[in-house]
């Protein structure tokens, strides 16, 4: 529940930032066009002075931040933080010890061999792993027959696996929306570039076009740099989860198959 509320809050904040970016970037374009028109107007009236060019040494990181602007910077920061959080959370959750601990299977089998079913049930119920919940549910319904117990185990397994898949799908969502955010930055950058070109009376200088072009390219690159690792981690964890679920189903059938008549 906490993860769901946090994710909704982040999505709502991201939507607000995107909506704000439309308004803010539009005002930047108008301001750039107005300011770029002043030197041209002054040049036509022979009253403009040649501006001095100041070359400043700037790190690549700060140049990237300045290029993508104050709107897309927090969006990408939120996107990357959510990606890292989901990646670490899923990586820690999808482990064999969290799904089917070896100690649980060994001790549960020993208790069943001793026909100490009540102790086996208590031991499985106290275990917080998925395998423990499944075994406890099956053993609790075993008095109604193996078919009833199997149905109860399948219901618990479906619920627990759905939780893992839901968290994992959030990681796939990050892999899907990150390139879209980069594409949105590309659109804004190209709008800014073509606005400068359309308002210029003569061919604009390269420096006048560099802002929009750099914004278009860097936002696309950052979006892909987030999406590609997210997609790779998602596929790795999805395959790992599928293997663990298969092993868990096989192990459960092997353990509880002793009660078949």
Burial readout 176-204 (b: 16 or more C-beta within 10 A, e: otherwise) = ebbbebbebbbebbebbbebbeebbeeeb
- The per-residue pLDDT for 49 is 47
Burial class (CB in 10 A: 0-12, 13-18, 19+), 27: exposed
DSSP 129-162: SHHHHHHHHHHHTGGG-HHHHHHHHHHHHHHHHH
- The per-residue pLDDT for 240 is 93
Q: Check if the beta carbon of residue 192 is closer than 8 Å to that of residue 28.
A: yes
User: CA–CA separation, 172 vs 157, rounded Å?
Assistant: 22
What does the angle CA 246 – CA 248 – CA 249 come to, to the nearest 5 degrees?
65
Q: Which of 261, 250, 259, 260 is nearest to 120 (CA)?
A: 259
pLDDT interval class at 238 (50, 70, 90): very high
Q: Check if the beta carbon of residue 188 is closer than 8 Å to that of residue 215.
A: yes
CB proximity list for 244: less than 8 A, separation 6 or greater: 94, 96, 99, 100
Indicate whether 239 pLDDT > 80. Answer: yes
- The per-residue pLDDT for 243 is 93
Tokens 């060994």 belong to which residue? 106
The mean pLDDT value for 245-260 works out to 84
Residue-wise pLDDT for 44-80, tens only, equals 444 444 444 444 555 556 666 666 777 788 888 888 8
Give domain limits for the chain. Answer: 60-259
The mean pLDDT value for 102-125 works out to 86
- The per-residue pLDDT for 214 is 73
The mean pLDDT value for 238-261 works out to 86
- Chain mean pLDDT for the chain: 76
pLDDT interval class at 124 (50, 70, 90): confident
The mean pLDDT value for 193-206 works out to 67
- The per-residue pLDDT for 255 is 83
pTM of the model: 0.70
């Amino acid at each position: 529940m906490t993860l769901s509320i946090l994710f909704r809050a982040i999505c709502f904040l991201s939507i607000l930032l995107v909506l704000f970016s439309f308004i803010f970037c539009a005002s930047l374009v108008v301001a750039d066009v107005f300011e770029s028109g002043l030197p041209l107007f002054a040049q036509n009236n022979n009253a403009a002075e040649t501006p001095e060019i100041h070359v400043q040494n700037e790190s690549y990181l700060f140049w990237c931040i300045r290029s993508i602007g104050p709107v897309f910077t927090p969006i990408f920061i939120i996107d990357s933080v959510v990606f890292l959080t989901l990646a670490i959370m899923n990586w820690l959750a999808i482990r064999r010890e969290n799904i089917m601990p070896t100690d649980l299977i060994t001790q549960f089998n020993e208790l069943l061999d001793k026909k100490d079913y009540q102790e086996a049930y208590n031991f499985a119920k106290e275990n917080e792993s998925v395998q423990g919940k499944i075994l406890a549910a099956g053993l609790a319904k075993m008095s109604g027959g193996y078919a009833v117990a199997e149905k109860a185990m399948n219901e618990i397994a479906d619920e627990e696996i759905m939780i893992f898949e839901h968290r994992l799908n959030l990681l796939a969502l990050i892999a899907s929306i990150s390139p879209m955010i980069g594409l949105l930055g590309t659109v804004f950058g190209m709008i800014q570039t073509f606005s400068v070109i359309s308002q210029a009376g003569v061919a604009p200088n390269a420096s006048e076009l560099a802002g929009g072009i750099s914004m278009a390219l860097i936002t696309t690159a950052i979006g892909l740099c987030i999406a590609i690792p997210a997609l790779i981690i998602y596929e790795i964890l999805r395959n790992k989860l599928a293997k663990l679920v298969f092993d868990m189903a096989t192990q459960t059938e092997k353990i509880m198959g002793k009660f078949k008549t």
